[in-house]
């Protein structure tokens, strides 16, 4: 794990509180290789953790108060303290809502307590790389660690989901928090959301002369304010019309009204693409997953309708410059795309994307190679 980020959080804690923290916990952001908007439909997903993380330095308090501070550009910004007993949805705003929501859920579970928390991180915000879940998971591990509780990762993932859904107000599924908790170095996590079954699938793109290039469009999005919830409700309606528990069980979209057919078609075909991708990776046929990534983007753009012009330009420009496949990732409506790129073509792809953005009058995208990394844990 990156000791620099841990040190930044611990040093800021010392400056603010006059003593070393009891510990530092961290959690990564994630890239979802394929399997978008399938998690809340009981489907299949295939994420991996990225090196970018959120660190939480923490010590316990005995007065039922949570103090929160964040390191921003070397400066420590202190938020208003919150009292555990007074926490309810709507009582915390902005970034504070994410750790406060976790504390609220843990209080309901009878674990956790007051704490001083100092946060540092380098997961790009609003980029579709799950910075909010990285913060929530790191906070959960810190509060649980301070209390001596040791629940299962599946329980922690469900509690973080509850914080996101019921406190923050974003109707997300289980993909992001499970990825942050459970991913491992050099693997993608094949997760069957319905059963909870996990399989670590080796994924060493570099050994095959390939890189997964992240293209952060720098277009901010919010899953609370976007059409994410509308899509999720549409999937629930489609499952109800089809008489199945979720679209995981749907065999097709026949019988659905016109406005629901594309949603079901995306979920059904995306689950199939995940399974095909896993099969190809196990056979070390890495280059052949490219067309599946591109098909996923087309489905998200045309059927699920969660893309945007910046994401479409990123994917198209990357492929035109030599990427084997590209697609948007995350909830959509902005954020990032990924491209599977032969290593020797990375510079050409980056140049092609940058030029395409400039031609459209967009701001410069941020681009970096994503390497499967370790999941969440205690650093110090």
Cα-based distances in Å from 345 to 192, 278, 316, 350: 34, 25, 15, 9
Rounded Cα distance between 221 and 378, Å, is 30
* DSSP secondary structure letter of residue 40: G
User: What token pair was written down for 248?
Assistant: 């995981």
Residue tagged 């998971």 (tokens)? 137
- Annotated active-site residue 176? The verdict is yes
Alpha carbons 256 and 251: distance in angstroms, whole number: 12
**How far apart are alpha carbons 310 and 318 in whole angstroms?**
12
- Reading the block at residue 351, the tokens are 């140049």
| Tokens linked to 277 | 């991708």
Query: What radius of gyration, in Å, describes the C-alpha atoms of the chain?
Result: 20
Q: Quote the distance between the C-alpha of residue 55 and its chain's center.
A: 16
Q: Which residues is 210 bridged to in the sheet? A: 342
CA distance 209 to 281: 14
Selecting among 176, 216, 303, 379, the annotated active-site residue is 176
Per-residue buried b or exposed e for 127-136, using 16+ beta carbons within 10 Å of the residue's own CB: bbbbbbbbbb
Here the tokens at position 334 are: 């902005």
Gap between the Cα atoms of 165 and 158, Å rounded: 10
Distance between CA atoms of residues 63 and 187, nearest Å: 42
Which active-site residues does the annotation give? 176
């Amino acid at each position: 794990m990156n000791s620099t980020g841990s040190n930044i959080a611990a040093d800021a804690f010392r400056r603010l509180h006059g003593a070393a923290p009891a510990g530092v916990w961290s959690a990564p952001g994630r890239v979802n290789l394929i399997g978008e908007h399938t998690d809340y439909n009981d489907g299949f997903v295939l994420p991996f953790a990225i090196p970018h993380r959120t660190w939480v330095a923490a010590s316990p308090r005995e007065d039922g108060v949570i103090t929160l501070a964040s390191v921003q550009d070397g400066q420590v910004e202190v938020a208003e303290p919150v009292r555990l007993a007074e926490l309810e949805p709507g009582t915390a705003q902005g970034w504070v809502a994410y750790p406060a929501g976790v504390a609220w859920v843990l209080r309901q579970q009878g674990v956790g307590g007051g704490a001083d928390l100092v946060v540092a991180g380098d997961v790009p915000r609003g980029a579709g790389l799950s910075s909010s879940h990285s913060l929530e998971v790191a906070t959960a591990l810190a509060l649980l660690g301070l209390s001596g509780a040791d629940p299962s990762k599946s329980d922690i993932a469900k509690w973080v989901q509850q914080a996101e859904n019921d406190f923050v107000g974003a109707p997300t599924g289980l993909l992001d928090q499970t990825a942050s908790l459970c991913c491992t170095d050099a693997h993608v996590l094949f997760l069957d959301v319905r059963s909870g079954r996990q399989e670590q699938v080796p994924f060493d793109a570099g050994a095959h002369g390939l890189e997964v290039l992240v293209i952060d469009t720098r277009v901010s999005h919010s899953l609370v304010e976007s059409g994410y919830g509308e899509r999720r409700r549409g999937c629930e309606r489609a499952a109800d019309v089809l008489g199945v528990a979720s679209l995981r069980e749907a065999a097709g979209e026949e019988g659905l009204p016109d406005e629901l057919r594309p949603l079901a078609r995306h979920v059904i075909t995306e689950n199939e693409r995940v399974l095909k991708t896993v099969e190809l990776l196990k056979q070390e046929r890495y280059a052949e997953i490219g067309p599946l990534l591109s098909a996923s983007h087309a489905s998200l753009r045309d059927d699920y309708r969660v893309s945007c012009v910046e994401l479409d330009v990123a994917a198209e420009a990357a492929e035109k410059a030599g990427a084997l496949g590209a697609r948007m990732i995350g909830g959509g409506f902005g954020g990032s795309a990924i491209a599977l790129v032969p290593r020797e073509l990375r510079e050409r792809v980056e140049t092609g994307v940058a030029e395409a953005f400039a031609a459209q009058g967009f701001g410069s995208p941020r681009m970096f190679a994503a390497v499967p990394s370790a999941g969440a844990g205690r650093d110090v």
